[in-house]
Amino acid sequence: MTDAWIYPCEAGLGDALAGDLAELGYSTHRVAVDGDLQGGREALAPARDAVASRPPGLVVVTSGASQRTRASELCAALRALEELSEVPLLLALELPALGIDGAPPDGDELLVAPWSVAELRARIERANQRLGLADDGDVVRVGGLELNLATYQVTIDGTPVDFTYMEYELLRFLVTHPNRVFSREALLSRVWGYDFYGGTRTVDVHVRRVRAKLGAEHAARIRTVRSVGYRFER
């Protein structure tokens, strides 16, 4: 089940979203952020024992008219977290909040109360499409390389290739987040999870193994960015 983190600057909207997101299959976690927003993940994320080890599939900030400034600050702080850089950020507003001068807080999609579950689903899908998080359907194709996201199968020019679970997860993450550089620390967090205590060399070892299995043509798509990390070129 995919986690959704809800930041309820407006509590009523947060309650409504939690129910609707649960209907869409999300496991919701409400996050109360008090005071300083500069504390990084420790200040902005739920307690570690309350969520899965990996980042959420969705982040939501709710706001009424009186909380718009706070919501804007919160959105900016969430945007600054590298681990959430490719996580859709949905902004849910009460209608009066739209009447305030100035641009609304920065989100990938805007949801205005009242909404339907169908509209919520559509907004989330649009946010994912804008971020380029995955191709349509369960199959991602890059030239002769094909990943079936439903069956965890990888083929190259129609020939199945065996990957270990973590090799596959690393390849899947890179392929579905193309042309973006990820540091080794970010890959450890996004692929292995917060509770993994291995060092960054784990990433290098797995990249080397994945490249070897991809063969020369596709291995070259995983580029090393010196002193930073890796990116996948589509």
| 33 and 107, same domain (yes or no) | yes
Distance CA 193, CA 205 (A): 17
Q: Is it the case that residue 47 has pLDDT exceeding 80?
A: no
Distance CA 26, CA 215 (A): 37
Runs of H (alpha helix) within 95-197: 117-131, 165-176, 184-187
- Domain boundary among the residues 86, 113, 131 is at 131
Q: Is it the case that residue 59 has pLDDT exceeding 50?
A: yes
Q: Residue 77: which domain range?
A: 2-131
Give the CA count within 13 Å in the CB-facing half-sphere of 217. 6
CB 234, CB 221: distance < 8 Å: yes
| 122 and 145, same domain (yes or no) | no
pLDDT of residue 57: 81
Distance CA 162, CA 189 (A): 24
| 121 and 226, same domain (yes or no) | no
CATH label of the domain that carries residue 113 = 3.40.50.2300
Q: Is it the case that residue 50 has pLDDT exceeding 50?
A: no
What is the total residue count of the chain? Answer: 234
Distance CA 174, CA 64 (A): 37
Which pLDDT band holds residue 223 (cuts at 50, 70, 90)?
A: very high
- Domain boundary among the residues 131, 164, 193 is at 131
The mean of the pLDDT values for the chain is 79
- Counting the structural domains of the chain, the total is 2
| 18 and 124, same domain (yes or no) | yes
| 148 and 216, same domain (yes or no) | yes
* Token code pair at residue 118: 């169908």
CB 10, CB 66: distance < 8 Å: no
Give residue for tokens 């400034």. Answer: 69
| 102 and 156, same domain (yes or no) | no
| 94 and 147, same domain (yes or no) | no
As a whole number, mean pLDDT of residues 178-205 equals 81
Q: Could you report the per-residue pLDDT of 62-112, keeping only the tens digit for each? A: 887 777 777 888 888 887 777 777 788 888 888 776 666 555 566 788 888
Q: Could you report the per-residue pLDDT of 104-140, keeping only the tens digit for each? A: 566 788 888 888 888 888 888 778 776 655 444 577 8
* Token code pair at residue 180: 């973006």
| 116 and 15, same domain (yes or no) | yes
Which pLDDT band holds residue 162 (cuts at 50, 70, 90)?
A: very high
- Domain boundary among the residues 112, 131, 150 is at 131
What distances in angstroms separate CA 40 from CA 82, 210, 222, one per listed residue?
A: 10, 32, 29
Tell me what percent of the residues of the chain surpass a pLDDT of 70.
Answer: 79
